[in-house]
Amino acid sequence: MSKRLYLSVVLAVVIILAMVVPALAGYYTYLITENTGTDYTQLAMNLTLDVDYLVDNGYISSTGLDTRVTDASYTVLPHMLADDKVMWVSDLEGNSTAQFIFFTGQDAIDSFPTITGHGGYVTVPDNEVLEPGGIFAFGIVGYVDTSAGANKNIIRKDDAVVFNVTDDEELTFAITGGNSLVASNVTADYMTIMVYCDGYELWMEIDDIEQDRVVASSIPDTANNWTLFENDVMPYVSYYGEWVGTE
């Protein structure tokens, strides 16, 4: 499955200082100030960092998995690396300054989450292999912001299916021309969401608790691309998967 990751700079925060401690010391410290008076919960942030230099000179592994980002209290935060950026997710209070620390020389983690950046998303090109039809499953693991907002789409394939926030603390999986699943009173948090269709029934589970179950519907086969994690609905994603069965 190919995908294109869109990253954007967080325009609502102003970097007042990026104090870089030499890589030999094992860390970089960033001070970030929010200047609009807005409180953010699980905000995706990124700053320029020459990651290729760190790899080429042996300060981090080729995967970068031996790194961490923490806040000032050394709480480990979700993060990932690009060739020229470090990205992480944290709460940020309005009109305040927060310190974040990038550490090298750590025990390797298994993988990075996907962090699309503020306003970012993932595009997966249309592919016949990925057409769900009437027997399928979707699995999503990550932090979901379930507060009400426009076009907060976890999954969108126009004229086929959309899975999004449809009201405050409400998630809806809607098949074009078919049935829908609704999960209510879903508090924003890190969670595992599974949507199943076995050709007879369609149902949704969140953290192994069934949310809704209806008669199965087949997802239309369209030529439109898949778009994932739009409008900051998921600041970071640990896993996304789709399974397609044979009817």
Mean of the pLDDT values across residues 180-208?
98
Is residue 234 within 8 Å of residue 143, measured between CB atoms?
yes
pLDDT at 247: 65
Instruction: Examine the pLDDT at 72 and tell me if it is beyond 90.
Output: yes
Q: DSSP character for 73?
A: T
Evaluate if residue 1 carries a pLDDT over 70.
Answer: no
Closest to 38 (Cα-Cα) out of 116, 118, 152, 120: 118
Q: Where in the chain is the domain with CATH 2.60.40.1180?
A: 8-103
| pLDDT number for residue 31 | 80
Quick one: pLDDT at residue 235?
A: 96
Contact 77, 90 (CB under 8 A): yes
Q: Are 90 and 43 spatial neighbours (Cβ–Cβ below 8 Å)?
A: yes
What was the pLDDT predicted at 15? Answer: 36
Asked if residues 128 and 234 have their Cβ atoms less than 8 Å apart, the reply is no
pLDDT value at 208 more than 50 = yes
* Per-residue pLDDT band at 24 (split at 50, 70, 90): very low
Least confident span in 22-31, 65-74, 99-108, 123-132: 22-31
In CATH, which superfamily holds the domain spanning 8-103?
A: Golgi alpha-mannosidase II (2.60.40.1180)
Instruction: Check: CB of residue 182 under 8 Å from CB of residue 193.
Output: no
The separation between the first and the last C-alpha atoms of the chain, rounded to the nearest angstrom, is 22
**Residue with the two structure tokens 């969108």:** 156
Looking at residue 22, what is its pLDDT?
Answer: 46
pLDDT of residue 13: 38
Looking at per-residue confidence, does 117 or 233 come out higher?
A: 233
The answer on pLDDT for 18 being more than 90 is: no
Would you state the torsion angle of the CA atoms of residues 219, 221, 222, 227, taken in this order, to the nearest 10 degrees? Answer: 50
C-alpha to C-alpha distance for 222 and 127, rounded to whole angstroms: 10
Residue % of the chain over a pLDDT of 70 = 89
Given the structure tokens 């027997």, which residue do they identify? Answer: 135
pLDDT of 221 strictly over 70: yes
What amino acid is encoded at 160 in this protein? A
Please state, in angstroms and rounded to a whole number, the distance separating the CA atoms of residues 152 and 95.
26
Q: Would you place residue 144 in the very low, low, confident or very high pLDDT band (cuts 50, 70, 90)? A: very high
| pLDDT for the residue numbered 2 | 29
Report whether CATH 3.30.420.40 matches the domain 122-244.
Answer: no
Average per-residue pLDDT for the chain: 89
pLDDT at 23 over 90: no
CB atoms < 10 A from the CB of 36, how many? Answer: 11
Where in the chain are all domains bearing CATH 2.60.120.200? 122-244
Q: How far is CA 206 from CA 69, 111, 222, 226, in A?
A: 28, 23, 28, 22
pTM above 0.85, yes or no: yes
Q: Number of C-alpha atoms within 13 angstroms, CB side, residue 57?
A: 10
Which tens digits make up the pLDDT trace of 32-51?
888 888 899 999 998 888 99
CA dist 237 → 55, 56, 78, 113 (Å)? 25, 28, 9, 5
Residue predicted with more confidence, 208 or 49: 208
The dihedral sign for the CA sequence 203, 114, 244, 174: positive
What is each CA distance from 151 to 111, 156, 165, 205, in whole angstroms?
29, 10, 8, 22
